[in-house]
Amino acid sequence: MLHGHFHICWVSAHLLVCMTASAEDVKFQRDVRPILSDACFQCHGAGESNRQADLRLDRRAGLFSKRDGRTIVVPGQPQASELIRRITSTDLESRMPPHDAERPLRPREIQIL
């Protein structure tokens, strides 16, 4: 792996797609937080009545927490991050956002995350 770069891979329509993104180009507040806010906070945000799995992704503690022995986000290690595993899963039961969500993630957003 090149220093300062990481590879994001996902399966879409039975086609493995890999993209390279520069870690220096992605800023949490500018790039990542808006994606989480648009696609994840409805179920994993501040709204206690809608919160699923008792997981908050709108707080640092939630993003870097461990759940069932897996860390939600491991900085610089997407392959070790549960969030990446879930957003790229081909299993409809474990994929996030769920297959019936109003706001699915776009391929570019998955790349950024």
Q: What is the pLDDT of residue 24?
A: 63
Q: What is the pLDDT of residue 90?
A: 94
Residue 19 lies in a domain: no
Q: What is the pLDDT of residue 94?
A: 93
pLDDT by residue (tens digit) across 25-43? 889 999 999 999 999 999 9
**CB count, 10 Å around CB of 89?**
14
Residue 56 CA: distances (Å) to CA of 18, 32, 45, 90, 100: 28, 15, 5, 23, 20
Does 112 have pLDDT greater than 60? yes
Q: What is the DSSP letter of 52?
A: -
How many domains does the structure of the chain reveal? Answer: 1
Q: What is the pLDDT of residue 25?
A: 86
Q: What is the pLDDT of residue 84?
A: 96
**CB count, 10 Å around CB of 105?**
21
**Which domain covers residue 36, as residue numbers?**
26-112
pTM for the structure as a whole: 0.74
pLDDT by residue (tens digit) across 64-91? 999 999 999 999 899 999 999 999 999 9
Residue 83 lies in a domain: yes
Residue 8 lies in a domain: no
Residue 10 lies in a domain: no
Task: Give the whole-angstrom CA distance, residue 50 versus residue 53.
Answer: 10
Residue 12 lies in a domain: no
